Structure 1
Amino acid sequence: MNKLLYIFCFFLILSCNKDNQHELDTDYQYEDGYTKEDSYYLIINNFTPYICYIECNDGFVVSINPNKTANNVKVPTKITSFQISYKNHPYTYSYRENVPGNQGEKYIINIKDPDFPECEKKKIFYVTVKNDEPYTYKIYNNEGYPIASVLPNDICTFSLTAGEHSLTFRQADGYILFPKIDYDIVSGNSCDNKNIFIPPTGSEEILEN
């Protein structure tokens, strides 16, 4: 009997600590009809595949698992602005959500997946190559793999992961003994657009043995 009483008290303490911290990682609901002076209630819907945090400067924190709902979360009326952030989002993102905060009222916060462009989600940027030579060139990446080709007096566009890349431009036709090979370095952040010309500035012709 004493052992059962001890176990019951242990879980009761854990439950009280969790309520005081306002940390929610599953569906959560205060008892219906529960009221207290100087407080209001939130229904928080997380419609994203990410763990989301709702917090403010006063230390109020609610965490909600992906595609979960926290019902009737009691909040002091002095708190009317919340910072919404995404724990395991591919990149840092947050925004503010405001509510009137009137005593006894109930408000809904819907957390949606941010509509970012694909280049931001994939962390890529774009490179446009203009070929001013009368020959076709093949373009190779850092590892020596072909990633694009550009026709004479034409342009082509391809994507690279954000960061710095060393590119090789190899003449594909029109040569007698050895193709002309040029080099250039390009770097960019997500969604940048970069331009490169053939021959690039400072390029050097290399003859293969």
Structure 2
Amino acid sequence: MNKLLYIICFFLILSCDQKDDHELDINYQYEEENSKEKDIYYLIVNNYTPYTCYVECDGRVIISLNPNKTANNIKISTKNKSFQISYKNYPYTYSYDEKVPGNQGEKYIINIKDPDFPECEKKKVFYVSVKNNEQYTYKICTERGSLISNISPNETRTITLSAGEHILEFEQAEGHTFPPTVYSKIVSGNSCDNKNISIP
């Protein structure tokens, strides 16, 4: 009887060992397959700006990243190697492209920094140098009559205007009988342009 119990126990132990070994093999293969995701690489994005930034690929937003934040291990298809970075609430519309090699299983870092642009670009303004060729002082005004500046005879004065088209009026401020002489000129410019006009 003891011999029979011994044999039964032996076969039970043997069958349990085989089952455990089989389960371990399955789990090992499953973990190995998951650790090698096909056609995927990982992106780390650091936003070092005071603005919310968007990382886009093929016209869709992959991630929206708050100011001074980091996003780790974003899974990206190896087909996507180029990204467009844009800024929300930036003083003007601005974006740029960022590229990575995109090799499977690799990690890449994109550091987003605050662009170092001149104030005229941020504020969307341009500059106009006005030369007064007349013998009298003139007022430089907007088309709605708001005074921008006065300009003396033979003086050159630089004024700042928002990017776009403007109508400037130059009204004689002295040495005139009623009504004063008024000149109108159209001037337009893009951000940071320098333009020259004269009176008359």
- Is TM (by shorter chain) over 0.5? yes
Query: Separation in 2 of the partners of 1:134 and 1:162?
Result: 31
For 1:121, what is the secondary structure of its paired residue?
A: helix
Question: Deviation of residue 70 (structure 1)?
Answer: 0.3
CA 1:82/1:176 → structure 2, altered by over 3 Å: closer, same or farther?
Answer: closer
CA 1:149/1:180 → structure 2, altered by over 3 Å: closer, same or farther?
Answer: same
Query: Separation in 2 of the partners of 1:69 and 1:169?
Result: 54
Contact 2:92/2:124 (<8 A) preserved: no
User: Mapping of 1:43-192 within 5 angstroms?
Assistant: 43-57=44-58, 61-175=62-176, 179-192=180-193
CA 1:130/1:71 → structure 2, altered by over 3 Å: closer, same or farther?
Answer: same
Query: Separation in 2 of the partners of 1:59 and 1:164?
Result: 34
Query: Separation in 1 of the partners of 2:105 and 2:168?
Result: 63
Instruction: Report the identity percentage.
Output: 65
Paired residue type of 1:191: C
Question: Deviation of residue 159 (structure 1)?
Answer: 0.6
Query: Separation in 2 of the partners of 1:163 and 1:60?
Result: 31
The runs of 5 or more residues in structure 2 that have no matched partner are 1-34
CA 1:96/1:176 → structure 2, altered by over 3 Å: closer, same or farther?
Answer: closer
Contact 2:171/2:181 (<8 A) preserved: yes
TM-score, scaled to structure 1? 0.69
Query: Separation in 1 of the partners of 2:59 and 2:136?
Result: 66
TM-score, scaled to structure 2? 0.72
CA 1:63/1:177 → structure 2, altered by over 3 Å: closer, same or farther?
Answer: closer
Question: Deviation of residue 84 (structure 1)?
Answer: 1.6
Query: Separation in 2 of the partners of 1:198 and 1:167?
Result: 11
**Highest Rg: 1 or 2?**
2
